[in-house]
Structure 1
Amino acid sequence: MAPVELFDELRALESTETKDQWYIVAATAMAAAGAGPDVTELYQMATKGKSLDEEKHIQRRLKEAILKTSILYGVPRSLQALLPLFSILKEEQIDHYGPRTEAMKNGETQEERRNRGRQHFDTLWTPVAAQANRNKNFKYQPDLYLLNLETIYELWLSENTILNAVETQMCTTAALICSGSPQQAMWHTKGIVRHGGSLDTARFAQDIALRIGKEYGCKVDAVAKVDEIDFDDATPH
């Protein structure tokens, strides 16, 4: 299927509840699937007929989604998506904004980032399971704790200026599905709901990721569908 036909199909899944979200979920799934260069065509479709301000809004969200999820599938794959996109932007089209850079410039403290990251992780796992996970990471490899529980959650995933917590979980779910990580994808699907999203929102993110995964040859058969997941189970795995 030609990319434009696939994107039409994905955009048709959007509802009032998931408005302005189809392209961020699709972009992260494509980057994770190794289909980064096609993100440029996705961006062109999403911005067609939009004003410059609307285009920059879409660009900002799409870039943040790819950058934020690059920690899950790798910087090289994120660059395969971002650099072709950068190459088609004229000077006046560039959205030059970075929420972390701005926060640091404006005096955001490490303690503020730590608290935000802890809250995000506690909500994703539930507090008891989250602490058990922290303890395990720290016990077996302190630097894994430094990477996973501090750097990734405090500085990247919990940053919510552009993408809120539900949208972040939608994108991480999609990225994990298309990068062959079904167990982690299940946890972040739970995270969509635990952060305040509905089951329909979780299905929407899954449907886009599974469709892209199948189109680009990812192994997605082991992914637990929303209706198969026990959202009340907080047992650490």
Structure 2
Amino acid sequence: MAPLDFLSEFRAREGVNNHSKGKWYILAAAGLAAANKGELMPELYRLATVDLPVEDRKVVQRRIKEALLKGAVLYGIPRSGQALGPLFQALPPDEIDLYAPRTQAMNTEGESERRVKRGRKYFETLWTPGPAQGMIDRIMMYHPDHYLLDVKTIYEFWISDDSILSNIETQMCNTTLLTCWNAPVQAMWHTRGVVRYSGTLDKARFAQDMGLAIARQFDIQTGDITMVDDIVF
């Protein structure tokens, strides 16, 4: 059996034929990178783009690259590179998608203010306003540079940008990859975040189940995962 055959179950379970709306392949990309299986990214891309015209393939590619880029803030640049590198090498020159929303918006008027507001809103939605401010105050008390990197930069520039992946999709990717990353507490936080961003319990289960399936497939430890039905939302 090919290593990614198990993904057919998730593709069928999602039942979404629109390549620009499907979530199974972006969750798989995030989870495979976290599981240190980035060498399988070309095969995932092939499965997700079979029979699609070039412009549609670029949309899928864009979404996979965004999932891997956002995942880098959680599993690190090396894992991201080990997934993006094989994908880049597999792309024909006429199929390379160059959409770069952050780079393109960086010097536009008012972008800095919009980015700050967007990042703050995302952080407060994920943690709720009171606990979010308490967390910021605690970090600023003990380690201001930690705030600059792990809250301000990550949330303003990367996590909160919804030009490619919606906030729900981002939280689903985080759920899958953290489940595969042996970070059960953080996985619970971001699984809860799916619902706090108005995602359904079914979407939270889908993301969690994808992470657990990847972990089983590649014998990855997950720690003591809190299942969706046991999370206090």
Length-normalised TM-score, structure 1: 0.93
Match of 1:196 in 2: 198
SS at match of 1:3: coil
- In 2, Cα distance between the equivalents of 1:194 and 1:169? 10
Q: 1:130-187 deviations in whole A, cap 9, x for unaligned?
A: 1111111111100011111100000000000000100010011111111111101101
Whether the 8 Å contact between 1:3 and 1:41 is mirrored in structure 2 is: no
Q: 1:63-112 deviations in whole A, cap 9, x for unaligned?
A: 00001111100111111111111111111100011111011143353221
Q: 1:94 to 1:17 in 2, by over 3 A?
A: closer
Q: 1:196 to 1:17 in 2, by over 3 A?
A: farther
Match of 1:173 in 2: 175
Whether the 8 Å contact between 1:114 and 1:154 is mirrored in structure 2 is: yes
Whether the 8 Å contact between 2:106 and 2:112 is mirrored in structure 1 is: no
Q: Which moved more, 1:154-163 or 1:107-116?
A: 107-116
Identity of aligned residues (%): 48
Match of 1:131 in 2: 133
SS at match of 1:107: coil
Q: Which moved more, 1:100-109 or 1:14-23?
A: 14-23
- In 1, Cα distance between the equivalents of 2:22 and 2:65? 14
Q: Which moved more, 1:172-181 or 1:215-224?
A: 215-224
Q: Structure 1: give runs of 5+ residues left out of the alignment.
A: 232-237
Match of 2:11 in 1: 11
- In 1, Cα distance between the equivalents of 2:89 and 2:113? 37
Q: Structure 2: give runs of 5+ residues left out of the alignment.
A: none
Q: 1:69 to 1:144 in 2, by over 3 A?
A: same
Q: 1:186-219 deviations in whole A, cap 9, x for unaligned?
A: 0101110000100000001111111001111221
- In 2, Cα distance between the equivalents of 1:211 and 1:136? 36
Pairing 1:59-138 to 2, within 5 Å after superposition: 59-138=61-140
- In 2, Cα distance between the equivalents of 1:48 and 1:109? 37
Whether the 8 Å contact between 1:32 and 1:176 is mirrored in structure 2 is: yes
